[in-house]
Amino acid sequence: MRGRAAGARHRDRGLRVRPGRAPWILLLPAFAGAAFLVLPLAGLLVRAPWPDMARRVTEPEVLSALWLSLWTATAATVLSLLLGVPLAWLLARTEFPGRRIVRALVTVPLVVPPVVGGVALLFVLGRNGLLGQYLHAWFGIGIPFTPAAVVLAQTFVAMPFLVVGVEGALRAADRRYEEAAATLGAGRATVFARVTLPAVLPGVGAGAVLCWARALGEFGATVTFAGNFPGTTRTMPLAVYTAMQSDPEAALVLSLLLLGVSLAVLAALREKWAFVR
């Protein structure tokens, strides 16, 4: 997108009135901001033990943590979509008493430290939790220390990103199309599935990507609620933190691997979207 715009400007040079120079009062902080975000990353790259890299990223523990991270983050995103899109619809398209309160509560996980979120999940779904005790007593199901707990912790922390994004998209969408669909005989469910959802699909996609990225980087709620055991609950961020305790270089390798994989996935998705759009 940006590349195309730049190319167009290049071709038109000479025909177009050039905009004034970007003012330094914007440029300076802009560069500072970019540097602030990019430099730590550069630090990681500089300090990484490159000759050792290939061997270290293919160690079984690393690969199992990576695989766990990828599939749990994806599962958390799917779960967030299944629950979050209808929730966003409810918040954007209906009026019910307490809607504002529900809306505020939904965004709480954005504000609360994830560790607290993890503790809260323990209080509800833990073995002695409000619901967890019945799951344990009646079905013998224990959620903590399982990959399911990882998915739940990630969903708790990441779903608000999706809900907020999709709700915004729904509010911005032209509701007249929904009216048009209704005049054609479509009930609300049909309107949602065939008109509303396609219209906000880019917003849903963007929300899902944000949700996935947040789930992938989730640490606090996961380590608190799901624990930390290789292969079942030690996702990449937990592996990074654990490695940090004894071998900072290993933590660096893990971080770069996580970064590389997530960037690759996001870039692939972007390509696909650019095509669809």
Partner 1 sequence: MTGEAVLDARLCVRRGDFELDADLRVGSGQVLALLGPNGAGKSTALRALAGLEPLSGGHVRVDGRDETTTPVERRPIGVVFQDYLLFPHMSALDNVAFGPRCRGLSKAEARARAAELLDGMGLAEHARARPRQLSGGQAQRVALARALAARPRLLLLDEPMAALDAGTRVDVRAGLRRRLEEFDGATVLVTHDPLDAMVLADRIAVVEGGRIVQQGTPAKVARRPRTPYAARLVGLNLFRGTAEGTEVRLADGGRVRVHEAHRGTVLVAFPPRAVALHRERPQGSPRNVWRLRVDSVERFGDQVRVHLSGQPPLAADISPAALAELGLSPGEAVWASVKAAEADCYPA
Partner 2 sequence: MRERSAVRAHALVAAAALLLSATSCGAEDGRRLTVFAAASLTDVFTELAGKFEEQNPGTEVVLNFAGSSELAAQINTGAPADVFAAADTATMAQVVAGEGLDTDWAAEHGENGVVFAANTLRIAVPPDNPAEVGELADLADEDTLVALCAEEVPCGAATAAATRAAGLDIVPDTYEEDVRAVLTKVELGEVDAGLVYATDVVAAGERAIGIEFAQAAEAVNDYPVAVVSTADEPALAAAWVDLVRSGSGAEVLAAAGFEVP
190 binds, among partner 2, partner 1, none (CB under 5 to 8 A by kind): partner 1
Q: Least distance (Å) from partner 2 to the CB of residue 50? A: 23
14 binds, among partner 2, partner 1, none (CB under 5 to 8 A by kind): none
Q: According to CB under 8 A, which residues from 139 to 158 bind partner 2?
A: 142, 144-145
Segment contacting partner 1 (CB under 8 A): 124-132, 170-178, 206-214, 254-262? 170-178
Phi-psi region of 14 (alpha: psi -120 to 50; beta: other; left: phi over 0): left
Q: Which of 57, 188, 210, 241 binds partner 2 (CB under 8 A)?
A: 241
Length of the chain: 277
CB within 8 Å of 61: residues ≥ 6 apart: 230, 239
Alpha-helical (H) ranges within the chain are 2-12, 24-47, 50-57, 60-93, 99-106, 108-111, 114-125, 132-134, 147-172, 176-183, 188-191, 197-216, 220-221, 236-246, 248-276
Count residues near partner 2 (CB under 8 A).
27
Segment contacting partner 1 (CB under 8 A): 90-98, 193-201, 204-212, 261-269? 193-201
Residue with Cβ nearer partner 2 (192 or 219): 219
Contact flags string 96-135 toward partner 2, x per CB under 8 A:
-------------------xx--x--xx--xxx-------
- Burial class from Cβ neighbours inside 10 Å (0-12, 13-18, 19+) for residue 248 reads exposed
| Three-class secondary structure of residue 114 per DSSP | helix
Q: Which of 245, 275, 276, 277 binds partner 2 (CB under 8 A)?
A: 245
Q: 229 vs 45, 157, 221, 223, 232, CA distance in Å? A: 28, 20, 15, 9, 6
Residues engaged in binding partner 2 (CB under 8 A): 115-116, 119, 122-123, 126-128, 142, 144-145, 220, 223-224, 226-230, 233-234, 241-243, 245-247
Residues engaged in binding partner 1 (CB under 8 A): 174, 176-177, 179-187, 190, 194-195, 198-199
